[in-house]
Each structure stands twice: as structure tokens, then as C-alpha cells.
Amino acid sequence: ATHRWNGARRRQPLAPAPPRHAPAARAGRFLACLLALAAGAILMLCVTLHRPEPDASAAALPRPSSPTPISGGGYAVVINTWKRYDLLKRAVAHYSVCAGVDAVHVVWSEPREPPEALRRSVLNCSRGAADVGFVMNRGNSLNNRFRPIQGLRTDAVFSVDDDLVVPCSTLRFAFGVWRSAPSAMVGFVPRIHWPADPRGNTKEYRYGSWWSVWRTGTYSMVLSKASFLHKRYLDLYTNHMLPSIRDYVTENRNCEDIAMSFLVANVTGTPPIWVQGRIFEIGSTGISSSKGHDLRRSRCLNAFASMYGHMPLVASTVKAVDSRTSWFW
């Protein structure tokens, strides 16, 4: 007999179809993984540290101990100026209101003392609680910017040119970096040195400007035109560093910043610290833009290395960055 079923067969429930947006979700997860890997790669930090052994002739050069850590306090701003009174007034007005500034000292090296009208005008530019005063010098030498200052109440000194303006927030961050390493120079303008002939045995060096730092990511100096340093280095520079180095700076009207970098590196055996931050140059171009500038700076490097008996500068690839203003942190 033939048996027929009355009605439709019972069907098994179908498996739910995958949502249409699944490929997009997978792509999103993949993109997130890529971003995570990229962020991890950016956070990798390479440090290149090298401390060369000094030659025997370096034993004659004093190597005082590093400055002791600080316990608190603010910092003094030391402005180096030369016949740019409008720029000087703007610099004093700006730095006098930055948080943490205890005093503003103007290094005066012109043949004549500042006229009373100019003195009052500069002092009246102060808009904050910081004291403002002049540091008078008889002779015109770039070494004057590193002369010890009587009555300095802070360990930290921010050395700056009269045509450079560093925003107060950026300055506050750099001061925090310096407090973590008070024996180091901490600044915004990095420079590099390297052997003139890396494959040879001759101990000659070349000076590398900003573009060399940008290309290699390496530096061994931060210029004193915008940098923090311990006040003790002012005494070491003026009273303990080789007089022949100060004589060279005076005669050539150049390289006092390189001389200070040599001094600090020779004392500490460590590199400076480059702080990333925007600074503003409000004056005209200086000697750094003149023809043959790098060649003259290279001569300074070799002259100072010869006087020291070795090359004290130490290279680094470390850069201090305020993560609050960076997209990747």
C-alpha cells in the first residue's frame, strides 16, 4: 500500500545568517590591531650612550663632583642681551610672569652702563612677582653670560637669548625635566658632533646643525641660548675651567655654548637632555645664519677637545616630550 503524509514535513530550524556588518567589524578589529602595533612601535625608545676614556693629559683638568639634587624652589632667568632694547623689554615682560620664575637677571656687556631711562623702562616691564635686575660687566665677552650672579636664590638657571621666547607652559615642563636630572643641561636647541673621518684614526670632529639632528635623531649638545643648568656650573665655567677656553671664546666671539656643553659633559660623563617644545625667535637672524658658521663651530670643537685632551661630549637619542600635548603617548 502506498502511504501518503497529509501535511508538510517538519523542517529543522535554519541557522541564523551572519550579520551583514561582520566583514566591517573584522576590518575594524584589524585596524585597531594595526594602530596598537603602531603605537607600541612609537613608544620604543633607543638610547645611545658612550663615555670615552680620557687621555692622560686630561688629568690636569679639574673634574668637580656633580651638583647635588635640589629640594625645591623655582628658577632664575638669565637673559643675554646686546643693543636690542625692544627685544629685551619684551623678554623681561614675558618671563617675569611665568610660574616658578624667582628673578630675571639681564646680563649687560655694553661699554656704557644702561641709561637711567632704559633701566627704569626695563624694570617697569616686569608684570609679575619676579625681581628684575642688571648684571653689569666691564668687558664685552660672551663669557659674561656664565659669570656667577651675586645673591642668586635658586639652584636652577634658565639661560636664554633676548630674542627667544619660550611659552610659560613649555618652560614649566622643561623645569620639571631638569628637576629630575639637576646635573644635566636641559634645553630646546640640540646640536651634534661627529668624527670628521669615522674610519680613520684622526681625532677631528665636525659640528652638525639642526638638520643633522633632524636627519639622525642624535644629539650631543643643547645650546645655552635656551637651556636649564645648575648655578654651580657658572662658578666652574668662570673660575675652574681652563682659561685658554675662555680666551678662545673672547677672541673668536663664538662658541661659549659649546664650551659650557664640554664643561657639563666633562663633569657628569652623561649627555644633555633635549626637550621637545615650540620656541619663538622674535629677532633678526644672528651669527648662526652667517656663511661659514658650521666651519667655525667645527674649529671650536677641535680646539676644545685638544685643550681637554679628549672629547667629553656624549651622544644621545633621548627626547623629553610632554605626553599631554602629544597624540601618541
Residues with catalytic roles: 257
Q: How far apart are CA 125 and CA 89, in angstroms?
A: 6
Give all strands of the β-sheet with 221-222 in edge-to-edge order: 205-208, 190-195, 221-222
Residue 251 CA to residue 245 CA, distance in Å, equals 10
**φ, ψ at 102 (rounded to 5°):** -85, -40
> What size, in residues, is the chain?
329
Cβ–Cβ < 8 Å for 300, 258: yes
Three cell numbers written together for 130 = 619676579
Pairwise CA distance, residues 124 & 117, whole Å = 11
Residue 93 burial class via C-beta count within 10 angstroms: exposed 0-12, middle 13-18, buried 19 and up: middle
Sign of CA dihedral 94, 98, 101, 102: positive
DSSP 139: S
